[in-house]
Amino acid sequence: MSSAGQYAAISTSTVILIMGLHFLQVRLDEQRAPITQFQRFMYLPQGEHLKIAALGYQHVVADLLWIQVIQAMGERQVTEEAGHWIYRALDIITTLDPKFVRVYEVGGIALTTLVVHIDESNRILEKGIQHNPDVWTLPFLLGFNYYFELHDDAKAADYIAKASRLPGAPEYLASFATRLYVSAREPQVAIDFLAQMYEQTSDENIKRILEQRLKEVVVERDLQLLERAISRYRERYTRAPERLEDLVTSGLLRSLPREPFGGRYLYDPQTQTVRSSEMKERLKVYGKRRPR
Amino acid sequence: MSRIIVIALNTFKENLRDKILYNLVFFGLLLIGSSILLSTLTMGEQAKIIQDIGLASINLFGVIIAIFVGIGLVSKEIEKRTIYTILAKPVQRYQFLLGRYCGLALILLVNTAIMVVGFFFILLVGKISLGSGLIKAISLIYIELLVIVAVAVMFSSFTTPTLSASFTLAICVIGHLTADLRVLGAKLQNELTKGILDGLYYMLPNLEYFNVKGPAVHGIAIAPLYVVSAIAYGVLYSAVILLISCVIFQRRDFK
């Protein structure tokens, strides 16, 4: 064969082989098509093992897995199964890189919005708090889960209060926490919390706001106290008290609480409700919750 | 001393002629490509991911060069029999060895420096702030490379390139796992095994000391004392390994 002939033969066979290769690749892709993206990584290894195997490059491995998780979250419909996979992947990412705060934040939210896996969302946020105790968003999101998803105001209040003490937290968190404490019927905890905040603040404006809120919570505590006494009075005498003073004369209360704004507690025997003369409405949490 | 410098410069030029710096093209493509690609794939954390990839590539490319050029430093000369002409000159064997080592260290320095310039350029374009942690992390990566080259030179001074490549690679892997060796030892009841594991822990290089990439990217403060201690550890470890290599090389019989 001439050298030109050899050249032609080699080139032709190369082209044919490349075409064959391309054909095969397309076929293989078609056969793999039903396998969705996240399932490719379905069998994720243990985070601890992966960390050792990464030989010091664990942060890049975490990044790559994080990008996969974002793609899985971006699916039009995130199935239950995908939700569990996302949690597992998030757990691995945060084992590889415990300071990757964004993963806890986005993961914690995604696990209650794209799918409703509240336990897993809480677990990832708790892990985040453990490794990043200075980041206020994590206890805030956890508190929000307890409020919105689990309807546990006492726990919600604890976490929101924790968040409000961390650097960078918005000022309204303290106020939100106190409303939650009041809603959880733990006004005394709210008072202690506000008193502590008051001690730690040097800003006069904030001090004034806290003082105002402290008095409001005291009112709420007193109103809850009076309400409890009224219902006990009713149980004992099978009728409602006519005046608040009846609670003292019957021995249910040692004395009537003093209104902190300088006003009085007003009692309506018709509706058997108490209110403060100085506050238009009672302290409560405004907002919706996911129905249980 | 001047002889060591001459050999070092020669090694430097030789590696330049071997087009070793071509790896920088790949580095650049990887870094630019990934930063463009990732900014569309991720949300919010581009800065962290670009820094992670940048530091990891600087580290990985450096380690690859350190191993695969390092193992040939001495054995190639023996194989090509060019070592006879060098040692016939008034050059001590240890001078030859140290010169080769310094030459590769210089190449790695230039290589790392160029990669760092590229990396910082990408950060600048992406308007990502440069923390002092990054400089510390990169310095420690360079020290890690120095240790690996020393290990490669040591193996290269008495075995074939293939074997020294395997050995050096193994040391690199083990070097990142020695902390686990110690944890394992602490769990064992047997005093003898515990002693052996402890011995291995202190004998093998702990390359994890040089890995502060994570804290650097997260902006967590790295104590200057830690950096200085780690650098001192790396330099001392390399010195010991090089001295051992010199002893081995001094006694070696070329046939």
The verdict on A49 touching B (C-beta cutoff 8 Å) is no
Backbone angles phi, psi at A210, to 5 degrees: -65, -40
Q: Which structure tokens are listed for A275? A: 């209110």
Task: Please tell me the distance from the alpha carbon of residue A56 to that of residue A60, in angstroms, as a whole number.
Answer: 9
Question: Distance (Å) from the C-alpha of residue A161 to the closest C-alpha of chain B?
Answer: 26
Instruction: Tell whether the model's pLDDT for residue A38 goes beyond 60.
Output: no
Q: How many Cα neighbours within 13 Å face the side chain of B159?
A: 13
**Mean per-residue pLDDT pooled into runs of 10, chain B (255 residues):** 83 80 76 74 79 88 87 81 81 86 91 89 84 90 94 88 90 88 79 84 90 89 91 94 90 74
pLDDT confidence band for A140 (50 / 70 / 90): very high
For A237-248, the pLDDT digits (tens) are 888 888 888 888
CB neighbours (10 Å) of residue A97? 26
In chain A, what residues touch B59 (CB-CB under 8 Å)? 56-57
Helices in B157-190 by DSSP H: which ranges?
161-175, 178-187
In chain B, what residues touch A52 (CB-CB under 8 Å)? 177, 180
Backbone angles phi, psi at A267, to 5 degrees: -120, 135
R_g of chain A computed on alpha carbons: 31
The verdict on B214 touching A (C-beta cutoff 8 Å) is yes
The verdict on B30 touching A (C-beta cutoff 8 Å) is no
In chain B, what residues touch A66 (CB-CB under 8 Å)? 42, 45, 49
Percent of chain A with pLDDT over 70: 96
Q: Which structure tokens are listed for A49? A: 């093992």
Query: Would you give the distance in Å from CA A179 to the centre of its chain?
Result: 17
ipTM: 0.82
What's this model's pTM, rounded to 2 decimal places?
A: 0.79
CB neighbours (10 Å) of residue B110? 16
Strand partners, A267: A274
DSSP label at residue A147:
I
Stronger pLDDT, A252 or B147, i.e. the higher one:
B147
Instruction: Tell whether the model's pLDDT for residue A37 goes beyond 60.
Output: no
Indicate yes or no: CB of A59 within 8 angstroms of CB of B214. yes
CB neighbours (10 Å) of residue B244? 13
Task: Please tell me the distance from the alpha carbon of residue B101 to that of residue A103, in angstroms, as a whole number.
Answer: 43
The verdict on A67 touching B (C-beta cutoff 8 Å) is yes
Nearest CA in chain B to A101: B218
**What average pLDDT does the segment A230-236 reach?**
89
Q: Of A8-17, A50-59, A145-154, A176-185, which has the strongest mean pLDDT?
A: A8-17
Indicate yes or no: CB of B207 within 8 angstroms of CB of A106. no
The verdict on B1 touching A (C-beta cutoff 8 Å) is no
In chain B, what residues touch A110 (CB-CB under 8 Å)? none
Question: Distance (Å) from the C-alpha of residue B160 to the closest C-alpha of chain A?
Answer: 26
Nearest CA in chain A to B52: A60
**What average pLDDT does the segment A74-84 reach?**
83
Residue A34, pLDDT score: 63
Of A55, A59, A71, the CB nearest to B52: A59
Indicate yes or no: CB of B52 within 8 angstroms of CB of A60. yes
The verdict on A56 touching B (C-beta cutoff 8 Å) is yes
The verdict on A59 touching B (C-beta cutoff 8 Å) is yes
Instruction: Tell whether the model's pLDDT for residue A201 goes beyond 80.
Output: no
Q: Of A4-8, A173-177, B69-73, which has the strongest mean pLDDT?
A: A4-8
Indicate yes or no: CB of B213 within 8 angstroms of CB of A52. no
The verdict on A105 touching B (C-beta cutoff 8 Å) is no
